[in-house]
Amino acid sequence: MDSVKWLLATRNPGKIRELRIILADARIDIVGLGDLGIDEESPESGKTFLENAMQKARFYYERAGIPTLSDDSGLEVDALNGAPGIHSARFGGFKTHEEKCAYLLGLLAEVPKELRTARFVCAAVFHDGHEYISAEGSLEGFIGDRPVGDLGFGYDPVFHPEQDGPSTAEYGTEAKNAISHRGRAFRALVKGLEEAGRLP
Amino acid sequence: MDSVKWLLATRNPGKIRELRIILADARIDIVGLGDLGIDEESPESGKTFLENAMQKARFYYERAGIPTLSDDSGLEVDALNGAPGIHSARFGGFKTHEEKCAYLLGLLAEVPKELRTARFVCAAVFHDGHEYISAEGSLEGFIGDRPVGDLGFGYDPVFHPEQDGPSTAEYGTEAKNAISHRGRAFRALVKGLEEAGRLP
């Protein structure tokens, strides 16, 4: 049986590689937005990660015409009532990851170690024009008191899965994919697709 | 009468230009650390801007052997009890100006507009191996709620001399030198030197 082609709504080659590994046993050929020549940006006006991921899946499905996988993710900090949350990418109006991390550390300067709990959350969605199948994944951890490591991106340098352990910017790609909110969401989604009989 | 040579303990050409303008009427030839081939870094272990500036003046006088001018400056934020103060250059352990500004904005996120008062402070020192003559200058202002402008450096993008006016990163060089803590400190120092009969 031939493989079928699905879109992963991203331009990040690392994310495409990661999903190909997760889907290694399925006969699915994962392509990215660049492979299909799609350069439009989906709006992200949802109130939750799931709404944003669904919005992206619909937007790109309408352009690609093939089953589409998408995700939305961010950081939730308990001492900030869940902020930055869906505003993670534009937190405080800052452009660079370094500024967003510094701003977050400033916001939390007076928050003691035991109350600096946080989690990375990811919603992953499958859409084929008819139905949406979704799953969430998260990675619990703690916000440190300074940026550490240079392997990750976003909030990785200030996020520690274990309170006194390395930051996620000190994890290698494989170790990080194994525990990441994104890896967990997509593995759960694939399991859901399997149970629904939607994997070829 | 020939001019005499004084060292301004800096490697910043803009600061050398600024001091030459302030000293335009005196017969003093201002040179920088680079002109004298001095590449050592002075320690800065003082508890005040003045102590740091005196330490730098002594350190570089001992290497240059000519009358030496130095300065130390920083930002004092009232809601932070004067922080970052003498720690302005390494505030929060961050390396870039952008991160330091973002960290400061995070620290002040809950502080209302009317309590966001701050000032740039500069201590300027003259030392000739025998005596120290010093002066201070400051610029009062307010910390904004986001970085604005790209003409300055350091904390300029978040510092507003007038609460709803431009940030010091939106001032041109001349306008900024006219009101800056550093310009004020050095003009006061030159006046003190004049009154002490120490200008050639």
**What percentage of chain B reaches a pLDDT higher than 90?**
79
Domain spans, chain A: 4-195
**What percentage of chain A reaches a pLDDT higher than 90?**
79
Per-residue model confidence as pLDDT tens digits over B26-44? 889 999 999 999 999 999 9
In this predicted structure, the answer to whether residue B1 has a pLDDT above a threshold of 80 is: no
Per-residue model confidence as pLDDT tens digits over B66-100? 999 999 999 999 999 999 999 998 899 998 999 99
What tokens appear for B149 in the block? Answer: 């402008």
According to the model, what pLDDT value does residue B16 have? 92
Positions of A marked active-site: 72
Per-residue model confidence as pLDDT tens digits over A132-186? 999 999 999 999 999 999 887 899 999 999 999 999 999 988 888 889 999 999 9
DSSP-assigned letter for residue B197: T
According to the model, what pLDDT value does residue B27 have? 87
According to the model, what pLDDT value does residue A103 have? 96
Supply the mean pLDDT for chain A.
93
A148 touching B (Cβ < 8 Å): no
Q: Are A138 and A184 in contact (CB under 8 A)?
A: yes
Tell me how far apart the alpha carbons of residues B132 and A155 are, in angstroms, rounded to a whole number: 48
How does A110-141 read in b/e, with b if 16+ C-beta sit within 10 Å? ebeeeebbbbbbbbbbbbeeeeebbbbbbbeb
Supply the mean pLDDT for chain B.
93
Per-residue model confidence as pLDDT tens digits over A39-79? 999 999 999 999 999 999 999 999 999 999 999 999 999 99
Partners of B92 on chain A (C-beta within 8 Å) are 102, 105-106, 146
CATH architecture of B4-195: Alpha-Beta Complex (3.90)
> Could B106 and A101 be called an inter-chain contact, meaning their C-beta atoms sit closer than 8 Å?
no
Query: Chain A: residue nearest B102 by CA?
Result: A103
Residues 80-109 of B with CB under 8 A from A: 92-94, 96, 98-109
When pLDDT is cut at 50, 70 and 90, the band that residue B151 belongs to is confident
Q: Is B72 noted as a catalytic residue in this protein? A: yes
What is the pTM assigned to this prediction? 0.82
According to the model, what pLDDT value does residue A193 have? 94
B79 touching A (Cβ < 8 Å): no
According to the model, what pLDDT value does residue B2 have? 64
According to the model, what pLDDT value does residue A2 have? 64
Q: What is the ipTM of this complex?
A: 0.71
According to the model, what pLDDT value does residue A22 have? 87
What tokens appear for A7 in the block? Answer: 């879109």
Q: In what order do the strands lie in the sheet with B68-77?
A: B28-32, B4-8, B68-77, B117-127, B132-143, B159-160
Query: Chain A: residue nearest B109 by CA?
Result: A107
Per-residue model confidence as pLDDT tens digits over A9-26? 999 888 898 889 888 888
